[in-house]
Structure 1
């Protein structure tokens, strides 16, 4: 009887280890090819995202980016951390900003942006109006007056090859866990 009991526990242990190995392998494949985790750093996306929050990024094809998406931009060429910003303009769009009134225009239409912390008053070194080049996007932080984004030549028009992924899910802090929704 003791031999059968020991064999049963060994079988359970083997099944448990086998399941854990499968789960770890599956997670490695998923996070290698489809998703990645990233942490928000700084105040540039407030009030949508706050520093210290953790997000899941969906790796995307370059054609899947659209208005309102929150993307991670690789900045290794400047030796800086990735930037998390909102897509405001796509290739071919004419972008303009009235810095006195704080209004952003895309193709002559004022944007309704309920997600911004305050109107866009801060101007950097990029001249407006401008046309977003092919294979590029125009991005802004939601905290417009505390965000280095496409208004600044350090980021400028973002080449789609530098887009690391689209933020789709917040998993920390636990009281804010869930999918990210955004207004276009």
Structure 2
């Protein structure tokens, strides 16, 4: 006696194309989620892109330039660095245009360049322990007594600084200046600021290293502006700093000529 196979009820059968579509959809979702996770990790620990919001770094960087910022290397003198507002630096023109919730999500996962809201970008002039002063008899910025030749990056027609000062950079902080000195609200501008949190006058002029996001290494957009951002050769001649003090030393007088 032979058993006759029974056919499954038609209503219980699942079309093959439906199960195939579901598998493909699941695979696509996994790929997208995985890509977003990888992108987020890269943004958090390796690098991200920023949009230049102001004129303070002209002509090295122009408003609207997209720059890549890497986070793995320690910053040094001469680097162009991105950092969080250390407190009271940002005006409306430099705060960047904050995106909506969807745009912010794509920033966080690294699919859109950061709108730079809450961040600034300047050139690192003084490391902890460095003595930075303006200016020598030829109008040049001095770092540890060594004059800087800034002609390769300083905005055409700008003086290295119209403001005279002598500072010693404290431990854990840096001294920064924009390449467009006459349009940059940088460390010099905050040397007389009063600290609302009970610190010393002028503390806000020095950016904490833990607020530094990273160093800008290249302009990647617009395409015609593509270029690397390196350290100008003049910084190689700067002597090593002395011990970094716990508190900054600030004088609004010129160094001895």
Q: TM-score range by the shorter chain?
A: 0.7 to 0.9
Corresponding residue SS for 1:130: strand
Deviations, residues 140-180 of structure 1 (Å, cap 9, x unaligned): 11111211111111651111122122112323212223432
Normalising to structure 1: TM-score of the pair? 0.79
Q: Identify the residue that residue 176 of structure 1 maps to in structure 2.
A: 225
Q: Identify the residue that residue 28 of structure 1 maps to in structure 2.
A: 40
Residues 112, 141 of structure 1: alpha-carbon distance in 2 compared, 3 angstrom cutoff: same
Residues 181, 77 of structure 1: alpha-carbon distance in 2 compared, 3 angstrom cutoff: same
Residues 4, 176 of structure 1: alpha-carbon distance in 2 compared, 3 angstrom cutoff: farther
- Aligned CA-pair RMSD: 2.8
State the alpha-carbon separation in 1 of the partners of residues 227 and 20 from structure 2.
Answer: 40
**Greater shift in the superposed pair: 20-29 or 107-116:** 20-29
Choose from 123, 128, 146 the match for 2:183. Answer: 146
Greater gyration radius = 2
Choose from 35, 43, 51 the match for 1:39. Answer: 51
Query: Structure 1: which 4+ aligned runs deviate by more than 3 Å?
Result: 3-22, 99-102
Gaps of 5+ in 2: 1-14, 96-118, 194-203, 236-257
Where do 1:10-89 residues align within 5 Å? 18-60=30-72, 64-75=74-85, 77-78=87-88, 80=90, 81=95, 82-89=119-126
Choose from 210, 224, 246 the match for 1:161. Answer: 210
How far did 1:22 drift? 3.2
Deviations, residues 67-108 of structure 1 (Å, cap 9, x unaligned): 111111211633833220001111111111128843100111
Gaps of 5+ in 1: none
Contact 1:136 1:160 in 2 (8 A): yes
Normalising to structure 2: TM-score of the pair? 0.59
Residues 54, 34 of structure 1: alpha-carbon distance in 2 compared, 3 angstrom cutoff: same
Contact 1:47 1:115 in 2 (8 A): yes
State the alpha-carbon separation in 2 of the partners of residues 103 and 28 from structure 1.
Answer: 43
Which of the pair is proportionally richer in strand?
1
Residues 29, 146 of structure 1: alpha-carbon distance in 2 compared, 3 angstrom cutoff: same
Corresponding residue SS for 1:151: helix
Choose from 123, 128, 142 the match for 1:105. Answer: 142
Corresponding residue SS for 2:205: coil
